């Protein structure tokens, strides 16, 4: 550990009582008491000093398993966020020597604190054996991811905003802090927009009209290719395929499935194929993708379906990924589709010939 880093840690350690008091003021009526905050702060300082204490043992002392309900989870996650804000303020007050052209160690120390608190948030969500009342398992997992990721975003925003006020920071540092602010604000805006769409979908029903799906797919591909990426996309199917479905929701579903694929392979080749299956009174879309070249489309659909995983777990996904998959499911329900996934290879979607069927 660098000498200057030890000096900052020593300063923070000497101000534990001040930090707990300031933490309590920020928390307001938060259910954690001073003894619990003091115990949690000591565990964090031990972690920063290089002798980490498992969060499970800290939680066992301050919040036993039998008391870990939804309110206690919310209180704990909020407390971690408030603690990040207190540390940012304390580091701002600490007078350190800033060498031009060198990183401010207060910033590095704050980043380390943010990293630990993010890990603790993630671990607390895993250790909390609670289902949020009124929500199903998928909704609970999405909400957990949202709480964790947004707390991390807010911690980064708080830290960067505070460090932007350092009078002797140079332009390069201020640009870094401003970039962190912008990136994390955009992440939160994106997730909030997804949550709003979930709210809107819960009140909607599919509106069936006659749609040329070939045209919809071409529009989605054209729109995707206006954004710089390392993906090549090809479409295979009839020039006109008329079905009865909801055009806007079909477009939404295709955009989201493409997003899934592009996140799985940062660079690669994607084939979108589609056709009717008259004997089943259905039509289908298959996404096949690879990092090494356009996939071979000779695999029969029956073979793909036998290998398919009919569901995707939202656990361990980020808020962005979890919300996207949750919305894929919800839009899929409105369109009455069957969805099959083989990770990192293909996605198969089967639609009814008519949405009203």
Alpha-carbon gap, residue 57 to 181, rounded angstroms: 34
Are 98 and 169 in contact, with CB atoms under 8 Å apart?
yes
Residue 285 dihedral angles phi and psi, to the nearest 5°: -130, 135
The pLDDT value recorded for residue 70 is 62
The pLDDT value recorded for residue 178 is 85
Which residues of the chain are under the pLDDT cut of 70?
Answer: 1-4, 28-31, 69-71, 74, 95-104, 125-126, 128-145, 148, 199-206, 279-280, 295-317, 319, 343-344, 355-357
Are 288 and 236 in contact, with CB atoms under 8 Å apart?
no
> How many C-beta neighbours within 10 Å does residue 259 have?
15
> How many C-beta neighbours within 10 Å does residue 21 have?
13
**Two structure tokens written together for 318:** 């980020």
> Where would I find the H helices in the chain?
3-14, 16-27, 34-48, 55-62, 70-93, 105-127, 137-163, 171-201, 213-224, 247-264, 301-307, 319-335
The pLDDT value recorded for residue 132 is 46
Alpha-carbon gap, residue 256 to 87, rounded angstroms: 39
Are 340 and 305 in contact, with CB atoms under 8 Å apart?
yes
The pLDDT value recorded for residue 310 is 45
pLDDT tens-digit readout, 245-268: 888 889 989 988 888 888 888 888
What pTM does this model have? 0.54
Radius of gyration of the chain (CA): 25
Alpha-carbon gap, residue 147 to 123, rounded angstroms: 12
The pLDDT value recorded for residue 30 is 58
**Two structure tokens written together for 325:** 């998959």
Alpha-carbon gap, residue 121 to 69, rounded angstroms: 16
The pLDDT value recorded for residue 2 is 63
**Two structure tokens written together for 320:** 């962005």
**Two structure tokens written together for 277:** 């299956």
Give the domain ranges of the chain. Answer: 3-201, 209-352
Does the domain at 209-352 match CATH 3.40.50.920? Answer given as no
Alpha-carbon gap, residue 131 to 137, rounded angstroms: 8
**Two structure tokens written together for 338:** 């069957």
Are 242 and 206 in contact, with CB atoms under 8 Å apart?
no
| Nearest alpha-carbon partner for 184 in 264, 45, 102, 81 | 81
């Amino acid at each position: 550990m660098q000498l200057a880093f030890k000096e900052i840690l020593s300063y923070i350690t000497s101000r534990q009582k001040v930090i707990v008091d300031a933490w309590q003021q920020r928390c307001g009526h938060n259910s954690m008491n001073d003894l619990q905050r003091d115990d949690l702060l000591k565990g964090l300082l031990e972690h920063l000093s290089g002798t980490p204490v498992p969060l499970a043992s800290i939680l066992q002392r301050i919040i036993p398993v039998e008391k870990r309900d939804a309110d206690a989870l919310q209180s704990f996650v909020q407390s971690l966020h408030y603690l990040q804000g207190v540390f940012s303020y304390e580091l701002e007050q600490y007078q350190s020597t800033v060498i031009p052209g060198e990183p401010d160690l207060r910033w590095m120390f704050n980043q380390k604190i943010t990293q630990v608190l993010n890990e603790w948030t993630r671990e607390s969500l895993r250790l909390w054996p609670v289902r949020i009342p009124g929500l199903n398992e998928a909704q609970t997992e999405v909400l957990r991811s949202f709480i964790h990721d947004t707390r991390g975003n807010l911690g980064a925003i708080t830290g960067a905003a505070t460090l932007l006020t350092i009078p002797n920071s140079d332009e390069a540092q201020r640009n870094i802090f401003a970039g962190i602010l912008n990136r994390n604000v955009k992440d939160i805006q994106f997730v909030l927009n997804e949550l709003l769409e979930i709210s809107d979908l819960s009140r909607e029903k599919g509106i069936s009209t006659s749609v040329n799906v070939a045209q919809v797919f071409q529009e989605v591909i054209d729109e995707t290719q206006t954004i710089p990426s390392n993906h090549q996309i090809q479409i295979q199917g009839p020039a006109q395929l008329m079905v009865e479905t909801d055009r806007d929701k079909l477009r939404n579903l295709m955009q989201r499935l493409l997003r899934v694929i592009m996140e799985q392979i940062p660079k690669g080749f994607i084939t979108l194929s589609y056709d009717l299956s008259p004997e089943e009174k259905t039509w289908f879309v298959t996404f096949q993708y690879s990092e090494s070249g356009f996939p071979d489309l000779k695999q029969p659909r029956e073979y793909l379906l036998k290998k398919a995983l009919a569901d995707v777990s939202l656990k361990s996904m980020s808020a962005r990924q979890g919300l996207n998959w949750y919305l894929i499911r919800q839009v899929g329900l409105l369109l009455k589709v069957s969805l099959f996934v083989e990770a990192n290879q293909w996605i198969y979607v089967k639609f009814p010939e008519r949405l009203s069927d």
